[in-house]
């Protein structure tokens, strides 16, 4: 049955600013959905308040509304576009579903004659209301954990008395496990019950018996209107029940499930999806399985929308779930959606994996001082990485190498824990680094049975770890001259990095690399070869692995490499790795636009990234995607394989920038601003000399490498002082100190965390106004794309400040200084591409705080506010295809745009919410106002100093 031709115009609801529990995976699904609709000739109207996303880019939809996600905004859009036939709310996470429900309750869809596609209201209500969901499962005979609903404190107490402890409290209608908690003892119950009732928008919680130690699985399903259902991916949580799936290490395909139980689970998932409502679209189902021979299955929950795991499942299988779910919502059936290239397989064909993927979450606890760092039912991670390998061990290693937490993989880097009590404690109270601690426990000799008893992680996973440690021990008996080819190949097949092998042998990483070359142990690239979707032949999507040589009949030996190198001129764009505070989705936005611009200039584009949530790792963003860690060894091998004209590093945030020195040292061309200029901007001493030459003022500063030196410097500089390490992003480790005791404590702490780092001490300009400018420079001409004034005073990190475009309070004299300084610095640094400069303004003098010759966090915001494709222009300048003077800049903005930071403090109780020089916001939204009399501006301005912390 073909699509419903009565649908001509669709409203997509986005997910708003990024918060913990709802990140950029919904930008990926929303972008894919918008493209899928437009392929069908359907008009797309989109609402989302997040300026950092690809989804809100003018190229993605016919009409984009950067407005708050409220029913008021929905009514405004429906009045402006009476032609809207349908709304698709399943691409914007819980935010979109909740808004859709609210609009339904107020009768808005009915008033404007708009229908819901991709889900129905009953399905949302049944799955979100814990009591209704339980009754439904009882009716279709699917087991659930014993549970009861409480909508009052007294009722909750009665249920606890009936069930006994341990218990789980889960609030209704929340996201990312907000307010959910385990209650192990009676004393904690009152407090946790109150918190759960407050967290639920309808003040209702489900109290259920805790299934501690059971195994957890997730299935991603798609259904069409003919009731065909396919299971795209089965994901197993390595962590047992009790840790939110968003904080769990997950593996696909499922590893420890018997086929009999897997078939039962499939049947249950399909039955559940069919029973919650008659709609066509995507679904995510979670189950718990008892860890004994019986393998009892209990249903946990079902989400009738594209979920966080859908992005992961799409990248794991290559099956574009959001794209197909959108087509199904339009009325297509799965068997009609053909592979557009081969015309031989249909979307009704389930993908099969001939590789393993491992997802590891990325946390940012260092930003939340005083936070409870143990993992539980409430999600705390800010991003995630995915590793693809031929075995679980290889994928696990690649995922740990992708995290960017200064680890080279599991073990073999001298950074493991060696204290028995500390290891036991971290295993008992699930810690963010438990993936590493398991390895340390095995290395210490703690038996697997004991580790299993404490963590309840399946023995199969623990034995995989044990094999890795056994191999490390074996290799450590050798030196560089005695290591055999077989042993080296085995280590590489199990994912050990050259750095780790060098650590085991006590030699240099470069020696291991050379040894691999000499012995012919080389990386080969394999296709993520989806049997199911539209891009198998057209869109190469690769991961690396190592294989033993194959011998032909004629005696020649070779390894099978599926990545064929073309003779086109190529450019590599380095992605920004996992999302974290200080480096989020806005860098992915820049990378995607960089890829598209390079493509317009006739280059073959190659993307390297390991973040499964993003548009940059979509199968058809670049000509070639290498889903690999943004980690030196992996990148260098790809560069040697592909031989590009050069590498773009200035779009991928600090992740890509940190690799510039090594690329430069190895003779790889950096496209755009040179490494020397990037280094000059980071090296405070050299940069200050440059400013002195240019006669540009900057706060007095000094560089210290010890607490002693810092103390002497303080006498010359005067308090308050801003202390910060060099080469960091998001203000990591920055602090304002007001006396010698605070200075000493902070310096000692910083040097312990980041040894051998140079610390910068600046005289802090108390009460100064902060502003920043972004510009594009081609080495000769400079065009300032935007100047923003921060509402908060200087001292609060720019990422945490409300910033207005254009400035609201800076006189002509100050503005001229900002423009002059920006141009002088951009030219002096020989910038080719983007640059961001931050200023402090005191007594009408403009001081320079810092300059970053790269894409900054604010570029997407300025591009959206002015409606100009600045990253596209900057990339063409970097590639040398255009000069700044070639572009016809035409920014348009009525009134002001304000970038508003969004925080996720609610995830961490007892955390100090004070703002300072270290960034803490997880996302941002954009607010347009006509003038400064606007109430929202007035409120922001009146609160501007409230949270300033020193």
Report pLDDT digits (tens) over 365-422. Answer: 888 877 888 888 888 999 999 999 999 999 999 999 999 998 999 989 999 999 999 9
Determine how many CB atoms are found less than 10 A away from the CB of residue 266.
Answer: 16
Q: Which range has the worst mean pLDDT, 5-19, 381-395, 547-561?
A: 547-561
Residue 542's Cα: distance from chain center in Å?
Answer: 20
d(CA 694, CA 697): 9
Per DSSP bridges, beta strands 604-609 and 570-574 are: parallel
**Among the listed residues 271, 275, 267, the one whose alpha carbon sits nearest the alpha carbon of residue 136:** 275
Task: Check residue 465 and give its pLDDT.
Answer: 98
What is the distance of C-alpha 363 from the center of its chain? 10
Other CB atoms within a 10 A radius of the CB of residue 490 amount to: 17
Per-residue pLDDT, 529 = 66
Question: What is the pLDDT confidence band of residue 531, given thresholds at 50, 70 and 90?
Answer: low
Distance of CA 171 to the CA centre of its chain: 25
Confidence of residue 731 (pLDDT cuts 50, 70, 90): low
Categorize the per-residue pLDDT at 584 as very low, low, confident or very high, splitting at 50, 70 and 90: confident
- Indicate whether 342 pLDDT > 60: no
Q: Name which of 887, 871, 899, 927 is nearest 589 in CA terms.
A: 871
Q: For residue 949, what pLDDT is reported?
A: 47
The C-alpha atoms of residue 590 and residue 672 are separated, in whole angstroms, by 14
- Check if the beta carbon of residue 589 is closer than 8 Å to that of residue 860: yes
Q: Give percent of the chain with pLDDT exceeding 70.
A: 96
pLDDT of residue 721: 85
Q: Which two tokens stand for residue 881?
A: 């295809």
State the Cα–Cα distance between residues 561 and 525, nearest whole angstrom: 5
Confidence of residue 338 (pLDDT cuts 50, 70, 90): low
Whether pLDDT at 427 is above 90? yes
Q: Could you tell me which residues come within 8 angstroms of residue 244 by beta carbon, excluding any fewer than 6 positions away?
A: 176, 177, 180, 375, 376, 377, 378, 379, 380
The answer to whether the CB of 384 falls within 8 A of the CB of 403 is: no
By the 8 A CB rule, do 650 and 854 touch? Answer: yes
Cα gap 322→614, rounded to integer Å: 13
- At 728 the pLDDT is 61
Euclidean distance between the first and final Cα of the chain, in Å? 64
Which pair of structure tokens corresponds to residue 506?
């006590």
Split at pLDDT 50, 70, 90, the class of 171 is confident
For the beta carbon of residue 763, count every other beta carbon within 10 angstroms.
Answer: 19
Write out the H or E segment, with its range, that includes residue 326: helix 321-329
> In whole angstroms, how far apart are CA 678 and each of 552, 589, 757, 830?
49, 21, 18, 10
What percent of the chain lies above the pLDDT cut of 90?
A: 64
Average confidence (pLDDT) over 100-107: 95
Which one, of 902, 918, 826, lies nearest residue 582 by Cα?
Answer: 918
Per-residue pLDDT tens for 317-330? 888 899 999 999 99
The reported pLDDT for the residue numbered 908 is 79
Q: 350: phi > 0 → left, psi -120 to 50 → alpha, else beta; which?
A: beta
Give the highest mean pLDDT range of 456-470, 577-591, 618-632, 914-928.
Answer: 456-470
Q: Specify the pLDDT at position 176.
A: 61
> So what's the pLDDT on residue 148?
84
Mean pLDDT of the chain: 90
Under 8 Å CB-to-CB from 158, ≥6 apart: which residues?
Answer: 150
Residues β-bridged to residue 805: 897
Give the pLDDT confidence of 272-318 residue by residue, as tens digits. 999 998 889 889 999 999 999 899 999 998 988 887 788 899 999 88
pLDDT reported for residue 946: 59
pLDDT of residue 612 exceeding 70: yes
* Dist. CA 634–CA 637, nearest whole Å: 5
Over 50: is that where the pLDDT of 195 sits?
A: yes
Distance of CA 491 to the CA centre of its chain: 29
Lowest mean pLDDT among 160-169, 572-581, 591-600: 160-169
| Banded pLDDT at 945 (limits 50, 70, 90) | low
Query: Please, which pLDDT band fits residue 751 given cuts at 50, 70 and 90?
Result: confident
CA distance 141 to 833: 61
- Residues 214-271: tens digit of each pLDDT: 999 999 999 999 999 999 999 999 999 989 889 999 999 999 999 999 999 999 999 9
pLDDT of residue 532: 37
Q: Higher confidence at residue 440 or residue 309?
A: 440
Average pLDDT over residues 493-521: 96
Strand partners, 220: 233, 284
pLDDT computed for residue 343 by the predictor: 45
Do the bridges between strand 147-150 and strand 115-116 make them parallel or antiparallel, or are there none, so unpaired?
Answer: unpaired
Alpha-helical regions (H) of 541-604: 585-600
């Amino acid at each position: 049955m073909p699509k419903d031709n009565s649908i001509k115009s669709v409203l997509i609801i986005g997910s708003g600013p990024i918060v913990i529990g709802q990140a950029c995976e919904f930008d990926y699904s929303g972008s894919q959905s918008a493209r899928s609709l437009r392929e069908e000739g359907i008009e797309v109207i989109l609402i989302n308040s997040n300026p950092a996303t690809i989804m809100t880019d003018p190229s993605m939809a016919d009409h984009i509304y950067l407005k708050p996600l409220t029913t008021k905004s929905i009514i405004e859009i429906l009045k402006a576009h009476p032609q809207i036939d349908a709304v698709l709310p399943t691409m914007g996470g819980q935010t979109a579903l909740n808004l859709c429900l609210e609009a339904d309750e107020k009768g808005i869809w009915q008033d404007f004659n708009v229908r819901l596609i991709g889900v129905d209201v009953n399905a949302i209500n049944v799955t979100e209301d814990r009591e209704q969901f339980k009754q439904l499962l009882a009716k279709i005979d699917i087991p659930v954990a014993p549970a009861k609903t409480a909508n009052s404190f007294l009722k909750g107490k009665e249920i606890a008395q009936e069930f006994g402890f341990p218990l789980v409290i889960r609030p209704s209608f929340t996201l990312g496990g907000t307010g959910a908690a385990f209650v192990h003892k009676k004393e904690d119950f009152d407090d946790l019950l109150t918190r759960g009732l407050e967290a639920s928008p309808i003040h209702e919680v489900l109290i259920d018996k805790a299934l501690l130690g059971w195994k957890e699985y997730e299935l991603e399903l798609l259904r069409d209107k003919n009731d065909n259902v396919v299971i795209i991916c089965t994901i197993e949580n390595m962590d047992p029940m009790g840790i939110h799936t968003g904080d769990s290490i997950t593996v696909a395909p499922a590893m420890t499930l018997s086929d009999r139980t897997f078939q039962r689970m499939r049947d249950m998932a399909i039955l559940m999806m069919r029973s919650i409502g008659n709609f066509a679209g995507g679904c995510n189902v979670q189950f718990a399985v008892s860890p004994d021979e019986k393998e009892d299955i209990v249903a946990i929950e079902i989400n009738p929308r594209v979920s966080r795991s859908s992005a992961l499942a799409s990248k794991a299988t290559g099956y574009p779930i959001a794209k197909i779910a959108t087509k199904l919502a339009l009325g297509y059936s799965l068997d009609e959606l053909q592979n557009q290239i081969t015309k031989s397989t249909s979307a009704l064909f389930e993908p099969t994996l001939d590789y393993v993927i491992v997802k590891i979450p990325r946390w940012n606890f260092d930003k939340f001082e005083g936070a409870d760092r143990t993992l539980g039912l409430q999600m705390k991670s800010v991003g995630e990485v995915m590793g693809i390998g031929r075995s679980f061990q290889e994928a696990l290693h690649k995922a740990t190498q992708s995290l960017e937490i200064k680890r080279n993989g599991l073990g073999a880097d001298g950074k493991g824990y060696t204290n028995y009590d500390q290891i036991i404690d971290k295993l008992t109270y699930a810690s963010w680094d438990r993936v590493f601690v398991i390895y340390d426990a095995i290395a210490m000799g703690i038996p697997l049975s004991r580790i299993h008893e404490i963590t309840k992680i399946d023995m199969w996973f623990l034995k995989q770890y044990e094999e890795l440690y056994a191999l490390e021990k074996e290799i450590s008996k050798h030196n560089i001259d005695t290591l055999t080819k077989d042993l080296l190949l085995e280590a590489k097949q199990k994912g050990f990095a050259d750095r780790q092998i060098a650590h085991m042998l006590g030699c240099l990483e470069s020696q291991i690399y050379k040894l691999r070359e000499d012995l012919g142990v080389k990386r080969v690239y394999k296709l993520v070869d989806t049997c199911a979707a539209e891009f198998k032949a057209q869109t190469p999507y690769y991961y690396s692995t190592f294989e033993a040589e194959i011998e032909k009949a004629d005696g020649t030996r070779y390894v099978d490499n599926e990545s064929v190198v073309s003779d086109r001129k190529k450019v590599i764009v380095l992605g920004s790795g996992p999302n974290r505070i200080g480096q989020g989705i806005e860098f992915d936005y820049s990378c995607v636009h960089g890829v598209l611009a390079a493509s317009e200039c006739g280059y073959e584009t190659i993307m390297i990234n390991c973040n499964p949530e993003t548009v940059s790792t979509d199968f058809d963003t670049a000509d070639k995607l290498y889903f690999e860690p943004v980690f030196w060894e992996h990148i260098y091998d790809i560069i040697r394989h592909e031989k590009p004209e050069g590498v773009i590093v200035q779009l991928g945030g600090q992740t890509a920038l940190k690799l510039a020195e090594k690329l430069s040292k190895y003779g790889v061309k950096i496209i755009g601003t040179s490494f020397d200029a990037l280094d000059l901007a980071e090296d405070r001493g050299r940069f200050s000399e440059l400013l002195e030459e240019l006669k540009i003022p900057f706060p007095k500063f000094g560089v210290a490498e010890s607490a002693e030196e810092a103390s002497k410097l303080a006498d010359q500089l005067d308090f308050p002082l801003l202390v910060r390490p060099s080469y960091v992003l998001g203000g990591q480790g920055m602090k304002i100190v007001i006396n010698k005791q605070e200075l000493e404590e902070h310096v000692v702490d910083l040097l312990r965390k980041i040894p051998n780092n140079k610390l910068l001490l600046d005289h802090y300009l108390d009460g100064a106004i902060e502003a920043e400018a972004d510009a594009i420079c081609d080495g000769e001409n400079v065009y300032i794309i935007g100047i923003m004034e921060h509402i908060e005073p200087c001292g609060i990190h720019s990422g945490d400040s409300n910033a207005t475009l254009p400035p609201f309070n800076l006189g002509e004299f100050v503005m001229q200084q900002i423009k002059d300084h920006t141009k002088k610095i951009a030219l002096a640094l020989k910038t080719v591409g983007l640059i961001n400069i931050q200023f402090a303004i005191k007594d009408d003098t403009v001081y320079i705080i810092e300059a970053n010759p790269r894409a900054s966090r604010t570029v997407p915001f300025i591009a959206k506010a002015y409606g100009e494709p600045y990253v596209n222009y900057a990339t063409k300048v970097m590639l040398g295809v255009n000069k700044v003077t070639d572009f016809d800049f035409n920014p348009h903005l009525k009134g002001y745009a304000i970038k508003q930071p969004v925080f996720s403090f609610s995830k961490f109780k007892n955390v100090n919410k004070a703002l300072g020089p270290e960034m803490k916001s997880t996302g941002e939204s954009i607010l347009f106002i006509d003038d400064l009399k606007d109430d929202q501006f007035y409120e922001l301005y009146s609160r501007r100093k409230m949270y300033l912390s020193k």
